Amino acid sequence: MSSIEEILELEQLEKDIFRGIVADTTMTRTFGGQVAGQALVSAVRTVDDRYRVHSLHGYFLRPGNPTIPTVFLVDRIRDGRSFCTRRVTGVQDGQAIFTMSASFHVGDEGIEHGDRMPPVPDPEDLPDIAQVVGEDIPWEFREWSDWDLRFVPQERIARRPGVPAQQQVWFRYRRTLPEDPVFHICTLAYMSDMTLLGSAQVPHAGTALQQASLDHALWFLRPFRADEWLLYDQSSPSAGFGRALTQGRIFDRSGVLVAAVVQEGLTRLLRD
């Protein structure tokens, strides 16, 4: 499979126009996290270094074709003293498959607080799927073999009252990544689409669904490294009408809240 460095290394075709690679994949549609991560790299390439991305909001408009590259068109919406905004459209065969707004901030002083990480087993106490031998490895772990994903068993999750669907995943990239903090942010944009929609299926185990990401919002709150352990604390507050709302909090190993995610996805019942 393609490395995250290859996936996020875009070719510049023209000012504010970029093209991503055709990544090795077993999926029949382009992975949404790949499109979001590449779109964010495109936006970053048009922004002065003194700004740091703090949020993105994206819509998946059409299924992407994984056998052809995606071209990203960047609109410079605003350049201010403290904030700047970019809009990115991902295009295949002349049609938009993804659109995203990204906001950048120079950083200011202000009030500070953050959620505490919930009690959770250490990642070292959970099995590494890469050590499983044979054909028993789920396709997700073969598709993203460069990622160390360790799911907390449902019986070991500290339940929050009134929350119908919870899921927790420790994750990290298996190899050392570049030092550039922006690279880790774009890597997290890629990864944040991974496993999140699955939290909606926790109370409905065994139900056959057609699933796809519809929209995705991500806030980068504090510095982190994507090649060090991060906890993805996920929940789904609502599902209905063939859609599910999911949300996630991402903590570093020390328990600091570093990012937050909200996503709505398609969860349509598969009929015989």
Residues labelled as active-site residues: 193, 213, 263
| 8 Å CB contact between 23 and 7 | yes
Q: From the CB of residue 242, how many other CB atoms can be counted at a distance below 10 Å?
A: 12
Closest CA to 188 of 208, 216, 160: 216
Helix ranges (H only) for the chain are 4-7, 32-44, 139-143, 181-191
Q: How far is CA 56 from the centre of its chain?
A: 11
- Extract the tokens encoding 220: 């980068």
Q: Quote the CA–CA distance of 16 and 40 in Å, as a whole number.
A: 12
